Structure 1
Amino acid sequence: MPHPRVVIIGASTGMGHALARLFLSEGYPTAMLARHVEPMHALTAQYAHVPHAVAQIDICRVSTVPTILQHTITRLEGMDILVHCAGYGLVNPHLDYAVEEGMIETNIKGFTAVMDWAFQYFLQQQKGHLVAITSVAGIRGDRHAPAYFASKAYQISYLQALHHKAVKSGLPIVVTDIRPGFVNTKPMEGKRFWMCSTETAAAHIFKAIRQRKRLAYITPRWRWVALAMRIAPYWVYEKVM
């Protein structure tokens, strides 16, 4: 049985790049999209025998998203799984609006443009698997990075809505919410507790996708942090954070 065809958005760096490498190494036809194409071309050159496609995309330019995705999927000869890894997060304790706006444009507007188009594609196809990287940060707000935490809460809620739509459609469309804790990507440089490498994160994400999970924490022990964040009284959360 042939492998599903995978489209990864945000595949030039970090978890997206590591995940693309893993899919290609396992023989999955894989399309990679991001703003910077050079790292993706370098990766696909190592797996030239595997069907692949590379395309440039800036999800903040929402009007271009449908055309680029459709063209890329045509080159891949279809899409069974879409993984959205594109995200933007910075600490912004002084509420610099330019910084907040960048996260809103990427994590809300760009994210929504991709999710809407992909979900409609899977509805027309009558099957598919939609995966998005959200964050444990989406569970509650934080004073150090208000827009990042809020945008991740938006993503979590949006995926819940799409899952509900999929269930009501009666079609075999799976929506997977991947919630990482600390992963050693460039914006998060520095030593933090329970931080894992992008390769470790990708391995866990790959497993969750193959198991068609509804929700997965990366790494799995972050589920306990998420539980504590949800149930902690406000006065405890505010004192700790």
Structure 2
Amino acid sequence: MPHPHVVIIGASSGMGHALARLCLSKGYSTAMLARRTAPMHALAAQYPDVPHAIAQLDVCQTATIPEVLQSTIAQVKGMDVLVHCAGYGWVNPQLDFAIEEGMIDTNIRGFTAVMDWVFHYFQQQGKGHLVVITSVAGLRGDRHAPAYFASKAYQISYLQALRHKAHKADLPIYITDIRPGFVDTKPMEGRRFWMCSAETAAAHIFKAIHQHKRVAYITPRWRWVALAMRIAPSWLYEKVM
């Protein structure tokens, strides 16, 4: 069975970069997109015999998304899987709107523009697999990072809606919601409980893609935190958090 053609948005660092490395190491035709291209070029140079494409993309520049995606997909001769790793998260207890706005632009406006274009692409193709890195944070609001938690809730709900659309259209378009807990990426300072490396996260994401999972927690034990977040009464959640 031929390898799928994988497109990764947000492949310059963190989980996206680690997943791109894993895909290239498996010989998968891999398209990598992000604002910074240098890390992706350096990674691709390590796998010169594997088909790949690299493009600069800032999802906040929503008008550029269709052209950049179409051109990049053409270079690798198709897209079977789209992994959306582009995201922005920051602690903002002071409610600095400039910080909130950045997360809204990336995690909501940019995310939605990508989702709509890719879903239409898969509709026309008749199949496809859409994978998005959301977060356990999307399950409940939090005083430390209101826009981040809220934007991740938006993403989770949007993916549920797209899954419903695919089901009603009777199309084999798979939607996988990846919900990490703490992952050791650049914005994260210090050690946190149950923190895993970007490479460990990528391995779990890769497995979830192959299993066509609807929802996958990274690492799997975060499902217990998610359960606690969902069932905790408001008074307890507000007291603990």
Is TM more than 0.5 here? yes
For residues 129-181 of structure 1, the C-alpha deviation after alignment (integer angstroms, 9 at most, x for no partner) is 00000000000000000000000000000000000001111111100000000
Q: CA deviation at 1:214?
A: 0.5
Letter in structure 2 aligned against 1:88: Y
Q: CA deviation at 1:187?
A: 1.0
Letter in structure 2 aligned against 1:41: H
Q: CA deviation at 1:189?
A: 2.0
Letter in structure 2 aligned against 1:84: H
For residues 78-134 of structure 1, the C-alpha deviation after alignment (integer angstroms, 9 at most, x for no partner) is 000000000000000000000000000000000000000000000000000000000
Moved over 4 A (4+): none
Partners of 2:196 and 2:126 in 1: how far apart?
Answer: 36
Alignment of 1:37-116 (within 5 A): 37-116=37-116
Find the counterpart in structure 1 of residue 190 from structure 2: 190
Letter in structure 1 aligned against 2:78: G
Partners of 2:77 and 2:102 in 1: how far apart?
Answer: 33
Partners of 1:2 and 1:161 in 2: how far apart?
Answer: 30
Letter in structure 2 aligned against 1:219: T
Letter in structure 2 aligned against 1:108: I
Letter in structure 2 aligned against 1:139: L
| Bigger Cα displacement from structure 2, 182-191 vs 141-150 | 182-191
Any unmatched runs of 5+ in structure 1? none
Q: CA deviation at 1:2?
A: 1.3
Classify the secondary structure of the residue corresponding to 1:93.
coil
Partners of 1:34 and 1:94 in 2: how far apart?
Answer: 29
Find the counterpart in structure 1 of residue 212 from structure 2: 212
Classify the secondary structure of the residue corresponding to 2:196.
coil
Partners of 2:215 and 2:233 in 1: how far apart?
Answer: 24
Partners of 1:103 and 1:130 in 2: how far apart?
Answer: 21
How many residues are aligned here?
241
Find the counterpart in structure 1 of residue 137 from structure 2: 137
TM-score if structure 2 supplies the norm length? 1.00
Partners of 2:12 and 2:48 in 1: how far apart?
Answer: 17
Letter in structure 1 aligned against 2:91: V
Classify the secondary structure of the residue corresponding to 2:177.
strand
Find the counterpart in structure 1 of residue 7 from structure 2: 7
For residues 29-80 of structure 1, the C-alpha deviation after alignment (integer angstroms, 9 at most, x for no partner) is 0000000000000000111101000000000000000000000000010000
Partners of 1:221 and 1:49 in 2: how far apart?
Answer: 37
Partners of 1:64 and 1:183 in 2: how far apart?
Answer: 30
Classify the secondary structure of the residue corresponding to 1:187.
coil
Find the counterpart in structure 1 of residue 17 from structure 2: 17
Partners of 1:164 and 1:88 in 2: how far apart?
Answer: 26
Letter in structure 2 aligned against 1:237: Y
Any unmatched runs of 5+ in structure 2? none
